[in-house]
Structure 1
C-alpha cells in the first residue's frame, strides 16, 4: 500500500506534462478568463502568505500559490 501511495503522490512532483493532463484533441483551447476570474486571481495573488489559516484551514501561501488554478473555481 505504501508503494501505491508513493507512486500516486510522486506524480505531482513532475515538471513535464503528463498524458492524463494534456487534452487529447489538439484543437482544444481552454475557455477564456472572465473579468470576475481575473479579479479572484488578483485577490488571491495578494494574500499574505504569513497569515494564519481561516476557518477553512487553508494557509495563505496555499491560496497565493494556487491563485491561477482557483480563480475559475471561485469566480
Structure 2
C-alpha cells in the first residue's frame, strides 16, 4: 500500500475518470487503509478525492516545472 511505503498522512485520488469511480472505490479503500496495522501504528491516514478536477495530472506536471524553475536549487546556493 502507498500509505505504508511513503508514510503518507493523506492519500488523494483523482483523474478524468475518478468522479465516476470515486464512490465505490472509496467505500473499499477507506476501510482498507483504516484497518491496516501499519498505518494505524504510525498516524491516522486520510483518503480523499482531489479538488483540482479532471486535469489533475496536467496541473501536477505544471507545478513540478514551476517548482524546478522558480525555487532555489540547493546546488546553486553552494559557494565555490
**TM-score with structure 2 length normalisation?**
0.25
Higher strand share: 2
Structure with the greater relative contact order (CA < 8 A, sep ≥ 6): 1 or 2?
2
Higher CA-based Rg = 2
**TM-score with structure 1 length normalisation?**
0.26
Higher helix share: 2
